A and B are shown apart, each in its own frame.
Chain A
Amino acid sequence: MKLRLLGAAAVALLLAGGAARADGDLHIFNWGDYTNPKLIEKFQKQYNVKVTLDDYDSNETMLAKVRAGGTGYDVVVPSDYTVKIMIEEDMLAKTEPDQMENFKNVNPKFVGVYWDNGRHYTVPWQWGTTAFVVDTAKYKGDINTLALMFAPPPELQGRINVLDDMNSLFNAGLRYLNLPRCNSNPEDLKKLYDLLMGAKATWRTFDYDTIGKMTSGDVDLSQTWNGAARRIRLQRPTAAYAFPKEGIEGWMDNVAVLKDAKNMENAKLWQNFLMDPENAALISDFAKYSNGILGSDEFMKKLDPAFVDSPEFKIPAGLEPEFVPPCTKEVTDKYNKIWTALKK
């Protein structure tokens, strides 16, 4: 195993010069509209590999497909909690990115992470935070509190969209109530249940299409991710991303190689390729989310100067994004019951 990795590292070194030695295919399965075509072109040219790209809309869809097996994909891009699940269920190949040439560029705070401690399976792709965006023209008060989502003022009632995601919503609710996440305590759950049922009346929709909802004017507040908030702000300038004092959720999408990948070597090349700062900048430049690679800011400034200064990426000091691990079956069962009751 070590020998193969050394070999791969040697090949990578040789290829860094630009002379193409690798061949074959690479089949990538990623979120929709999340991969920079320029990035793929660059990789294709550098390693003479033909890349195909298919997309999915949620971790669960990807998981369901991969669990069924025989998909033909080499590389997938699961979010943090999904990586943990996939490692536990032995779906990923242990490609040891921590031994790859470009590993030194990875931001140290993203190396010792709960879902892949030490980075033996995955490589950072993009990361962000989840909070909400609100139109400051419609609401003039302090926006940095989850109370706007769960106990909204009259001018926002009926004009709110929340993510159709049980985990994101419940985590936000538990944060607001200052209760622990992945909670199986019946009393805590009762409080959460009452909170959600009460707030539901003031919500308009449960939808992932947060950008569409905000830019069309259907809602004035939407739970969303920071990159989406930035896009919303570009079309609706008075929209501002909140950094709730009760806490903010963090997530990271990671590049993983499937255990039954047919093009293992090319997949590893891809992982190493992505840890290069210039390439990481290309990743961020497309979907406009932060990446986990040091030094890419230099290149980002050239590609999109305004991006680095966007307020959505400037987390206030003292507020640490919380990366929530997947909950146990017992907790998920209880959550499911609340979720069904919420949506019945």
Chain B
Amino acid sequence: MAEQALSAAQVLDRAAGRRGRRFDLKRQPGFGVVALLCVAMLYAPILIVVGFAFNDSPSVTRWSSFSLAWFEKVLANGDIHNAARNTLVIASCATIIATLIATAAALATTRSRAWPGQTTVYTFINLPLVVPEIVTAVATASFFALLAQQVGISFGIGNLILTHSVFCIPFAYLPIRARLEDMDLTLEQAAADLYATPWQAFRRVTLPLLTPGISSGAALAFIISFDDFTITQLVAGAGQTTLPLYIWGQLHKVGVTPEVNAISAILLVVSILFVSLSFLVGRRR
């Protein structure tokens, strides 16, 4: 209440804002600048990566001249295609599985009084986050090996997909949970008042409101799976090389060449196209 002792100038200012100039109550000074700097910081390395994809010499540190040779090399390199395909398949499947499971789990654990066993669920879900990657890697590799040797079960590339799903679940879960916790309960209560069944209320009210959270969760899960290296390295079997493994394999004894930059540039273009497409499709509706 000490604020009430405002100067005359400030009072007039406020009045002017309310009357004439639009007072943007959402604006926070400097936040836009930070956001733009953030974007710039995020994109600087990308531009370099893409730039060096056109480098003539085999160096990723010294630029010599423009050349499309690396792109040709990538397009001709069957190993990279395999790796890229594996990576995309694993990441997509893991994301779908993880997001579905995480959504269900989030619905189960939020917006209610604590129920017996809830803490256990929460612990389970966060456990993959807490475990250092190298331990998950060795543990999972040993587990699948035991499964194959003693029981004779192996899911092929499903081994990798299941492993990825496990550590993707917490990443999908947290944004969905955050979103759920912030959601307006009254809307669902209103739906119930209007005689909607719980399933209808879920489908027509909860789910649409939850969509940003689910998208965030799915996006995080995909990135995590896409980039994973340590765990994939130990769990992957024959013919299951992914892009991170392929790139890392290049580093030792030979060194990085712009070939991997070319791969990245191609992937970037593909993902831009893909997202733009889904964006346009979404807008049509």
- Which of B154, B234, B248, B250 is A65 in contact with, Cβ under 8 Å? B234
B254 & A215 in contact (Cβ 8 Å cutoff): no
- Which of A72, A209, A215 is B252 in contact with, Cβ under 8 Å? A209
**Interfacial chain B residues near A56, Cβ < 8 Å:** 233, 249
- Which of A32, A68, A215, A227 is B59 in contact with, Cβ under 8 Å? A215
Q: A32-B252, A57-B252, A228-B253 are in contact. Are A69 and B240 (CB under 8 A)?
A: no
Give the CA-CA distance A31 to B249 in the complex, in Å: 7
**Interfacial chain A residues near B239, Cβ < 8 Å:** 27, 52, 54, 72
- Which of A73, A212, A227 is B256 in contact with, Cβ under 8 Å? A212
- B284 in the interface, Cβ–Cβ < 8 Å? no
Give the CA-CA distance A231 to B254 in the complex, in Å: 8
A287 & B254 in contact (Cβ 8 Å cutoff): yes
| 8 CB < 8 A contacts A-B | A32-B249, A32-B250, A33-B253, A54-B239, A65-B141, A68-B234, A212-B251, A216-B61
**Interfacial chain B residues near A225, Cβ < 8 Å:** 253
Give the CA-CA distance A25 to B62 in the complex, in Å: 41
Residue in A closest to B249 when the chains form the complex, CB atoms? A32
- A340 in the interface, Cβ–Cβ < 8 Å? no
Using CB atoms and an 8 Å cutoff, list the residues of chain A in contact with chain B.
27, 29, 31-34, 52-58, 61, 64-65, 68-73, 208-209, 211-212, 215-217, 225, 227-228, 231, 235, 287
Using CB atoms and an 8 Å cutoff, list the residues of chain B in contact with chain A.
58-62, 79, 138, 141-142, 144-145, 148-149, 154, 233-234, 236-241, 245-246, 248-256
Residue in A closest to B79 when the chains form the complex, CB atoms? A53
B138 & A64 in contact (Cβ 8 Å cutoff): yes
| Contacts A32-B251, A212-B256 supplied; 6 other A-B pairs, CB < 8 Å | A33-B249, A54-B245, A55-B241, A55-B249, A72-B239, A208-B251
Q: A32-B252, A56-B249 are in contact. Are A235 and B59 (CB under 8 A)?
A: yes
Give the CA-CA distance A209 to B255 in the complex, in Å: 6
A55 & B141 in contact (Cβ 8 Å cutoff): no
Give the CA-CA distance A62 to B277 in the complex, in Å: 41
**Interfacial chain B residues near A208, Cβ < 8 Å:** 251-253
The minimal Cβ–Cβ distance linking B97 to chain A, given in whole angstroms, is 23
A71 & B253 in contact (Cβ 8 Å cutoff): no
Q: Which of A208, A211, A231 has the most CB of B within 10 A?
A: A211
10 cross-chain pairs, A with B, having the tightest CB-CB distances, nearest first: A32-B249, A72-B238, A211-B255, A70-B148, A55-B249, A69-B145, A216-B61, A27-B238, A68-B145, A33-B254
Give the CA-CA distance A61 to B241 in the complex, in Å: 14
Q: Which of B144, B145, B234, B254 has the most CB of A within 10 A?
A: B254
Q: A54-B238, A64-B234, A65-B234 are in contact. Are A70 and B154 (CB under 8 A)?
A: yes
Residue in B closest to A55 when the chains form the complex, CB atoms? B249
Q: A215-B59, A215-B62 are in contact. Are A61 and B234 (CB under 8 A)?
A: yes
